[in-house]
Structure 1
Amino acid sequence: MNPSTAQATVVIDELVRAGVTDAVLCPGSRNAPLAFALHAADAAGRLRLHVRIDERSAGFLALGLALRSGRPVPVATTSGTAVANLHPAVLEASHSGVPLVVLSADRPPELIGTGASQTVEQPGIFGTAVRLAVTTAVATNAAGQQARWRSTVDRVVATATGVRGGLPGPVQLNLPFAEPLVPDADQAWSEPLDGRADGRPWTAVGRVRAEVPPLPLDPAAPTLVVAGGGAGEHPALLGGAPLVAEPSSPLWGHALRAAPWLLEESALKPAQVVVVGRPTLHRPVQRLLADPDVAVYAAADPRGGQWTDVPATVRAVGSVPPLAPPGDWADRWKAADGAASAALDAALDKGTPRGLRLARDLIAALPAGAQLVLGSSNPVRDVALAAVPRADVTVLSNRGVAGIDGTVSTAVGAALAHPGPAYALLGDLTLLHDTTGLLIGPDEPRPDLTFVVLNDSGGGIFSLLEQGAPAHAASFERVFGTPHTTDLRALAAAFGAAHVLADGPLAQDLGPAQGLRLLEVRAERGTLRQGHAALRAAVRAAVAAAG
């Protein structure tokens, strides 16, 4: 057996022993040892292999698998720009705490700087975005290397999963492989390569759990809880203070539906706010947290992550004690939520804004146990503003750095890791940005996944921002609206996906999530800004009337 084959075989075996159940592979020459080892593990039923031709999409596929499963997922690439194409997924994994493992094949170090093909400086290529970056020595025929290879894999996986008390996140294991890169006929090696006989990892790593002191807040004060993604469920927060939660938060199913519309109502201003996770969607939240008259506290991330404090107003970070604000405080929020919800439904039943109505109707139509991945532009905001929260639906979104890239692949990966029906709500640009995510080979695992695509031929999110104001109308459409004429039916056909053009009740068009499907919902962007303004005015009037 040649050294590269031996090393790759041991690395993949140890990854499986450390808990890996899925792996993603991109084709290449320098990573051929990993390809053969992964294929053999898949054939033996030890892991499930997913092969993709585009490294950027492959990175987000691995991200989606890890995001939903919570398990480390490796993505193996060849050397050169193939590794660089993983950077967007690595950044998202870093900021959202997802255990992504980069297995980057490399050239031997003596070839760096010599003009050798597909050769770049791969150690450190991801900078501070990875929790750990390790480059192994080039394997040789010498005995005694198995222990080093296996212990390195266990250290990498322990770092990725955060078992030692740190926040989970991406890691890089850079593997310089010398030729030959393919297995040879002689399978002999200088020592057994079987690892521990009991099937355990070479190094068993125990989990560290930190004790966090409670926050020094007043449990009886009028308190509002604001929750974003990425910080656990915090069951102590349920049933006490009013809760405004973003859809990607585990707390969203217990939140007040219309709370995002109520944050600037003076009668509902809290004395203190508890921040959970990373709330990033709503500008009124940021204004509330910056208010000098409001005491702001942050719930400690049980995984060891940083706390959110954009305006630098957090007074303390810790565990949240049981909250018991005044009963009339909670009652005022519930009454306002009821009035705002009724106004929302009355306006949305008239059909506009189309994205908000689609978000409301989609959440209501999903079967229990479903999973929904949300695009990071308008879709996640539309759900936050219009949908009735549900605790029996799993909602995911790439909110670490909130980019639209890789969302199709993330949804595919998450669907492959989800035991129930899977859906995704995207805008048309988000879909087009990652169309290679729809490219799934005939021998690859395929999910049952329905993409609900709001097609308004461009970037609707910008209509709601400052650049969408009438003063910028002359330049807006070309440089922000970015219209296109893509035929989504033809696009779906090219990738072997079914296409449905919504023309009836959403629940009827949605149907069961069988195979890969695109459900296209067409809309106009021209009245989006005015529609949101009118809806905001209607909600405020209803809350004022309810008093």
Structure 2
Amino acid sequence: MNPSTALAEVLVDELIRCGLRDAVLAPGSRSAPLAMALHAAATAGRLRLHVRIDERSAGYLALGLAETTRRPAAVVCTSGTAAANLYPAVVEADESGVPLLVLTADRPPELRGTGASQTIDQIKMYGSAVRWFCETGVPEPVPGQVAYWRSLADRAYAIAALDDPGPVHLNLAFRDPLVPDGDPAWPEPLTGRPGGGPWTAVPRALAEPVSHPLPDVERGVIICGDGDLDPAPYLALAEATGWPILAEPTSNLRRGPHALGGYRQLLAVPEFAEAFRPDLVVTAGRPGLSRQLLAYVRRARRHVVVGPRRRWPDPTRTAAEVVPAVAAPAGAAGAGEWAARWARADAAARSAADAVLDAGDVPSEPRTARDLAAALDAGSLLVAGSSMPIRDLDGHMAPRCGLRLLANRGASGIDGVVSTAVGAAIAHQAEGGGAAYALIGDLSLLHDQNGLILGPGEIRPDLAFVVVNNDGGGIFNTLEQAAHPGPFERVFGTPHGLALERVAAATGTPYVRLERASDLADALKEDGIRIIEVRTGRVEEVALRRRIIAAVSKAVTPLLA
């Protein structure tokens, strides 16, 4: 057996023994040993192999698979710029804490720095964005290689998955020949441990974190940002103290009687934010969807962050303490007047916003977000774009159970969201989940059109893309750049003028346009990968958002007396 084939077959086998279930492959010649080994494993039913023609899409597909399953997924590519195109997904995995195995094929050392085709410097090419890098070395037909390769695979998988999950990069140099030669001979057995287990077992730590007792205050608030949070301790904390939960959608904690759906609009009213200044804010996950929420954290007299000691989120730089877990104050009295005032204000804010949104039947971005989140069956998955879609969900999604939300909020880019959603939907439905949906903007769709290109042998999930098309970057119309009309439209608004039905037709994706807001539930009833376009106007949407804030302000002002 040639060395390149031996390394690839052993590495793939050992990663499967560790728990690898999904691998994404972008085609290439230098990565042929890995491609052949992965194909053989997939044919034997040992893992799911996904093939994509674009490395950037492949990286985000693997990201979606890994984030949904909470297990490492592998992405494999050839040498050169192919490896560079994985960088955005690696950065998102790093910032979001998603376990990702990045396997890049490379030329052997004697071809590097010589001008050889498709050869670049791939050593530590992702810098500090990976938890660990290893240049595996050129495989040689000598005893001891199998133990090295298998223990290397175990270390890579464990570092990606445990303690501080994130991406790991293995750079694999392969010499010719790159495909099997039909000769099974090797200086030592290539097999792993008997029984199918890993060469080196690395169990997950089972110790529960020590809970930090919180001070006994009435004016407390629990803020849950993006992240894979366990909801139980925060729901229990709210129940024991009566403190409201201000949960961003991808915390998946906007549920239960203490979660509030209208806090974003409430905190946009300066008088409310001042009147409801908290004595204590407890933050978990990565909050940061709105400036008003971060400003509210700064108002708190005391700020406690629940997070890892190495990488705790504190964008406001106000944390007084960082703790691994929290406990309700001894003798907490439950809901009191503080909780009741929040509940009354939240009800008033949501009623006022809904009245504005329901005044007509013309589709709008906030109403689409609100109605989509409410319409989905329990067991559904919703992936949100990182620009206005996730913010509209934050502003208008009512608390509910049974819906899992994901978004690429680590680095918060709009790139790769189509592929992320496809990967998430595949994993969600493979584990018995229901239908999947994605709420994204037109630029996100155009940025990752290749994510819609699936070959005839690829898994096609049940996934509806609800695409809000405002012909450009609508978020900039809400920011200070909009006050500069001269350069604004060209360098920020960036209108493209493209017809999305043609984009859909180019990839053979079924398409429908939503003409009336009230027709959304019916439009969602189809299955397969499809596009539902919602056309809006950027200027009109800004005016709508201002009317909502004005209505909320008018509704809650009497409650501040």
How far does residue 144 in structure 1 lie from its aligned partner after superposition? 2.2
| Residue matched to 1:105 | 105
| Residue matched to 2:339 | 330
| Residue matched to 1:261 | 265
Q: C-alpha distance in 2, partners of 1:231/1:434? A: 25
8 Å CA contact 2:442–2:468 kept in 1: the answer is yes
Residues 1:282 and 2:290 aligned together: yes
Counting only pairs closer than 5 Å after superposition, residues 527-542 of structure 1 correspond to structure 2 as 527-542=540-555
| Residue matched to 2:319 | 314
Equivalent of 1:404 in 414, 419, 424: 414
| Residue matched to 1:362 | 372
Q: C-alpha distance in 2, partners of 1:393/1:506? A: 21
Residues 98 and 542 (structure 1 numbering): CA distance in 2 closer, same or farther, change over 3 Å? same
Residues 1:441 and 2:455 aligned together: yes
| Residue matched to 2:201 | 204
Greater than 3 Å deviation, 4+ residue runs: 209-217, 323-326, 506-509
Q: C-alpha distance in 2, partners of 1:432/1:373? A: 17
Q: C-alpha distance in 1, partners of 2:393/2:255? A: 12
How far does residue 496 in structure 1 lie from its aligned partner after superposition? 1.6
Q: C-alpha distance in 1, partners of 2:336/2:186? A: 73
The two structures have a TM-score, normalised by structure 1, of: 0.96
8 Å CA contact 2:213–2:328 kept in 1: the answer is no
SS in 2 for 1:23: strand
8 Å CA contact 1:66–1:99 kept in 2: the answer is yes
Deviations 1:438-488 (A, max 9, x none): 01101111111100001111110000011123xx11221111111012121
Which stretch shifts more, 409-418 or 239-248? 239-248
8 Å CA contact 2:26–2:58 kept in 1: the answer is yes
Q: C-alpha distance in 1, partners of 2:383/2:197? A: 34
| Residue matched to 1:416 | 426
Which stretch shifts more, 31-40 or 132-141? 132-141
Q: C-alpha distance in 2, partners of 1:202/1:431? A: 43
Equivalent of 1:178 in 167, 175, 178: 175
| Residue matched to 1:427 | 441
SS in 2 for 1:314: coil
How far does residue 353 in structure 1 lie from its aligned partner after superposition? 8.2
Deviations 1:510-539 (A, max 9, x none): 333511100011111122222212211110
Counting only pairs closer than 5 Å after superposition, residues 23-102 of structure 1 correspond to structure 2 as 23-102=23-102
SS in 2 for 1:103: strand
Q: C-alpha distance in 1, partners of 2:460/2:187? A: 41
Equivalent of 1:512 in 512, 521, 525: 525
* Count of aligned positions: 539
Q: C-alpha distance in 1, partners of 2:263/2:452? A: 36
Which stretch shifts more, 180-189 or 349-358? 349-358
Residues 176 and 197 (structure 1 numbering): CA distance in 2 closer, same or farther, change over 3 Å? same
8 Å CA contact 2:26–2:55 kept in 1: the answer is yes
SS in 2 for 1:252: coil
- Name structure 2 gaps, 5 residues minimum: none
Question: What is the RMSD computed on CA atoms of the aligned residues?
Answer: 1.6
Equivalent of 1:473 in 485, 488, 495: 485
Q: C-alpha distance in 1, partners of 2:2/2:335? A: 72
How far does residue 290 in structure 1 lie from its aligned partner after superposition? 2.2
How far does residue 294 in structure 1 lie from its aligned partner after superposition? 1.9
| Residue matched to 1:245 | 247
Q: C-alpha distance in 2, partners of 1:31/1:226? A: 45
| Residue matched to 2:307 | 300
Which stretch shifts more, 80-89 or 106-115? 106-115
Q: C-alpha distance in 2, partners of 1:348/1:79? A: 51
Q: C-alpha distance in 2, partners of 1:59/1:91? A: 10
Residues 433 and 226 (structure 1 numbering): CA distance in 2 closer, same or farther, change over 3 Å? same
Tell me the amino acid that sits aligned with residue 493 of structure 2: G
8 Å CA contact 2:378–2:401 kept in 1: the answer is no
How far does residue 391 in structure 1 lie from its aligned partner after superposition? 1.8
How far does residue 211 in structure 1 lie from its aligned partner after superposition? 5.1
Equivalent of 1:497 in 498, 503, 509: 509
- Name structure 1 gaps, 5 residues minimum: none
SS in 2 for 1:388: coil
8 Å CA contact 2:441–2:468 kept in 1: the answer is yes
Q: C-alpha distance in 2, partners of 1:365/1:312? A: 38
Residues 1:350 and 2:359 aligned together: yes
Deviations 1:393-418 (A, max 9, x none): 01000000000000000000000001
SS in 1 for 2:230: coil
Residues 1:272 and 2:280 aligned together: yes
Deviations 1:97-141 (A, max 9, x none): 001100100111122111111111111000000000011121111
Tell me the amino acid that sits aligned with residue 229 of structure 1: D
Q: C-alpha distance in 1, partners of 2:540/2:420? A: 31
8 Å CA contact 1:99–1:170 kept in 2: the answer is yes
Which stretch shifts more, 405-414 or 528-537? 528-537
Tell me the amino acid that sits aligned with residue 38 of structure 1: L
